């Protein structure tokens, strides 16, 4: 039996070579239709495989999944994730077997096939998890250095603690929305450098942040840290994440306690969760860490992933311009280090929690992961293909982020995370 990641696998479903969702991927998500309600699904090519329908037709009967099939008829993946890694792997492996070109079980069962497969264009994707908690890290050394140069001392861009701990803060989980949800420009306090007092009104420096987030896969008890050797056992999978940011609101409010209203008005998450198992072939070593981390954060194996990322800006009624090409492998602090540090004080984890990477920037001008950097705090306007320029994101702009990993002829993609900015409400 071929493993689900084998490059030689191909499906009886016609899948374009450029598709994000070949048989080697099989990411999990939650979809909805008026007839079926909300259900868990797996992406395959241009289709969604309805896991509730698959279960109803008996294809999971020998997998001993507790509470099936109702676990597949939920509005989030949380209940399924809570069943544990052996169940995730068993379901993914069985789905892989059912979709292989030489397996007639589903392919030749006309009633089951029509019940189980829907076109992605015919469903509405929901937020994949219901997060109880959201942590936003600050783990790109290029991004942190750029911000330090802009706002502090260029000769000492990184704060003294940055190379010693994965910096992060506790964000607002309730405002994480699925891709395609409109983003309302936030109102807030801003203070110009030469102003005597702050004013209140719509943010004038609305920005995107190119991030990848991981989804918590296991709950832990309060007071019980997770050793770094076990950290990835607590990760279900990865999503694309746009952590929208109002730079002018944030720069006024963040001293002394950090981001607040400049970040909590909205974060966009992609609907498909790509499992760590699917990304296993794309592991790479991360950047050299100097000084060597303290013992509890030291990792021996490859914990970064080679995932190409891009950001496009599309003005209302105009063409899209790709403004950034970056890569998740640039991250200085790995997901394993982030999770281990999160729990090092005994903080307990919950299934479905979201942990975002922080803005992902590279070392070249076209690999920067925010408008703050691309337009260098508004001093270098960024040209778009319609002839306009951007210092920050304008009303009517649609920001789309995409990502994929590719090796040995196999492309494992994330789809996209997209959001259109609407004007602020009258204050």
User: Which of 306, 276, 325, 326 lies closest to 405, judged by CA?
Assistant: 306
Flag whether pLDDT at 231 surpasses 80. yes
Q: What is the pLDDT of residue 177?
A: 98
Residue where a domain stops, chosen among 125, 149, 169: 125
Flag whether pLDDT at 293 surpasses 90. yes
Q: Across the strands, what pairs with 322?
A: 312
Q: What is the pLDDT of residue 2?
A: 65
Q: Which of 57, 143, 234, 404 is catalytic?
A: 143
Token pair belonging to 282: 């794309």
For 7-41, how does the pLDDT look when each residue is reduced to its tens digit (9 = 90+)?
Answer: 999 999 999 999 999 999 999 999 999 999 999 99
Residues 182 and 111 occupy one common structural domain: no
* Secondary structure letter of residue 144 according to DSSP: H
Q: What is the pLDDT of residue 427?
A: 55
Q: What is the pLDDT of residue 1?
A: 53
Cα–Cα distances in Å, from 139 out to 21, 164, 250, 334?
A: 28, 11, 19, 8
User: Which of 33, 27, 72 lies closest to 45, judged by CA?
Assistant: 27
Distance of alpha carbon 410 from its chain centroid, rounded? 20
Residues 113 and 155 occupy one common structural domain: no
Residue at 19 is within a domain: no
Write the CATH number for 78. 2.30.30.230
Residues 292 and 401 occupy one common structural domain: yes
d(CA 414, CA 396): 25
- In degrees, rounded to 5, the angle at the alpha carbon of residue 153 between the alpha carbons of residues 152 and 154 is 115
d(CA 28, CA 339): 22
Residues 199 and 68 occupy one common structural domain: no
Count structural domains, the chain: 2
Cβ atoms < 10 Å from Cβ of 215: 26
Question: For residue 68, what pLDDT band results from cuts at 50, 70 and 90?
Answer: confident
Q: What percent of the chain has pLDDT over 90?
A: 96
Residue at 15 is within a domain: no
Token pair belonging to 354: 């979201």
* Edge-to-edge strand list for the sheet holding 308-314: 183-184, 410-422, 398-407, 308-314, 321-327
404 is catalytic: no
* Residue 44 near residue 415 (C-beta atoms within 8 A): no
Q: What is the pLDDT of residue 426?
A: 83
d(CA 110, CA 227): 49
Residues 58 and 161 occupy one common structural domain: no
Report helix, strand or coil for 242: strand
Report helix, strand or coil for 10: coil
d(CA 402, CA 415): 6
For 126-164, how does the pLDDT look when each residue is reduced to its tens digit (9 = 90+)?
Answer: 999 999 999 999 999 999 999 999 988 899 999 999 999
Section 368-375 average pLDDT? 98
* Residue 375 near residue 382 (C-beta atoms within 8 A): yes
* Secondary structure letter of residue 281 according to DSSP: G
Flag whether pLDDT at 64 surpasses 90. no
Q: What is the pLDDT of residue 360?
A: 98
**Domain containing 322: what range?**
134-422
Residue where a domain stops, chosen among 76, 94, 125: 125
Flag whether pLDDT at 320 surpasses 90. yes
Cβ atoms < 10 Å from Cβ of 418: 20
Section 192-200 average pLDDT? 94
Q: Across the strands, what pairs with 200?
A: 189
Flag whether pLDDT at 46 surpasses 90. yes
Cβ atoms < 10 Å from Cβ of 246: 29
Residue 324 sits at φ, ψ, to 5 deg, of: -150, 140
- In degrees, rounded to 5, the angle at the alpha carbon of residue 288 between the alpha carbons of residues 211 and 165 is 60
Enclosing H/E stretch for 88: helix 85-99
Report helix, strand or coil for 121: helix
Predicted TM-score (pTM) of the model is 0.97
Residue where a domain stops, chosen among 64, 91, 125: 125
Section 314-324 average pLDDT? 98
Q: Give the strand pairing for 37-44 and 28-33.
A: antiparallel
Residue 279 sits at φ, ψ, to 5 deg, of: -90, 0
Residues 121 and 138 occupy one common structural domain: no
User: Which of 359, 22, 410, 396 lies closest to 183, judged by CA?
Assistant: 396
Q: What percent of the chain has pLDDT over 70?
A: 99
Cβ atoms < 10 Å from Cβ of 2: 12
Residue at 22 is within a domain: no
Mean pLDDT over the full length of the chain: 97
Question: For residue 272, what pLDDT band results from cuts at 50, 70 and 90?
Answer: very high
Cβ atoms < 10 Å from Cβ of 313: 25
Residues 121 and 207 occupy one common structural domain: no
* Residue 347 near residue 133 (C-beta atoms within 8 A): no
Residue at 163 is within a domain: yes
């Amino acid at each position: 039996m071929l493993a689900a990641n084998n490059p030689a696998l191909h499906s009886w479903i016609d899948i374009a070579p450029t598709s994000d969702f070949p048989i080697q991927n099989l990411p999990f998500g939650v979809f909805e239709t008026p007839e079926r309600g909300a259900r868990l699904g797996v992406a395959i090519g241009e289709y969604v495989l309805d896991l509730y329908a698959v279960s109803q037709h008996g294809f999971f009967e020998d997998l001993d999944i507790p509470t099936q099939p109702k676990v597949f008829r939920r509005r989030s993946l949380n209940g399924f994730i809570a069943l544990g890694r052996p169940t995730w792997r068993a379901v993914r492996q069985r789905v892989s077997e059912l979709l292989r070109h030489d397996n007639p079980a589903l392919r030749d069962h006309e009633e089951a096939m029509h019940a189980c497969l829907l076109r992605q264009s015919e469903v509405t994707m929901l937020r994949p998890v219901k997060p109880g908690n959201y942590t936003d890290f600050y783990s790109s050394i290029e991004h942190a250095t750029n911000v330090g140069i802009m706002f502090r001392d260029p000769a000492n861009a990184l704060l003294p603690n940055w190379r010693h701990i994965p910096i992060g803060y506790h964000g607002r989980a309730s405002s994480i929305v699925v891709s395609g949800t409109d983003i309302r420009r936030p109102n807030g306090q801003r203070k110009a450098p030469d102003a005597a007092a702050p004013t209140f009104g719509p943010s004038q420096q609305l920005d995107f942040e190119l991030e990848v987030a991981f989804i918590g896969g296991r709950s832990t008890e309060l007071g019980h840290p997770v050793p770094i050797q076990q950290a990835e056992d607590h990760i279900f999978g990865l999503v694309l994440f746009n952590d929208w940011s109002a730079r002018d609101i944030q720069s006024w409010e963040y001293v002394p306690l950090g981001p607040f209203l400049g970040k909590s008005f909205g974060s966009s998450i992609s609907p498909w969760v790509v499992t760590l198992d699917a990304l296993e072939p794309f592991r790479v070593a991360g950047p050299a860490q100097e000084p060597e981390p303290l013992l509890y954060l030291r990792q021996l194996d490859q914990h970064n992933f080679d995932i190409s990322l891009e950001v496009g800006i599309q003005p209302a009624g105009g063409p899209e311009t790709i403004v950034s090409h970056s890569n998740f492998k640039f991250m200085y602090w790995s997901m394993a280090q982030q999770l281990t540090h999160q729990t090092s004080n005994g903080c307990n984890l919950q299934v479905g929690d979201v942990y975002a990477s922080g803005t992902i920037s590279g070392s070249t001008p076209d690999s920067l992961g925010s408008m703050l950097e691309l337009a260098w705090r508004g001093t270098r306007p960024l040209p778009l293909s319609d002839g306009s320029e951007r210092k920050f994101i304008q009303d009517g702009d649609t920001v789309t982020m995409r990502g994929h990993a590719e090796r040995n002829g196999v492309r494992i993609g994330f789809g996209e995370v997209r959001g259109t900015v609407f004007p602020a409400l009258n204050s």
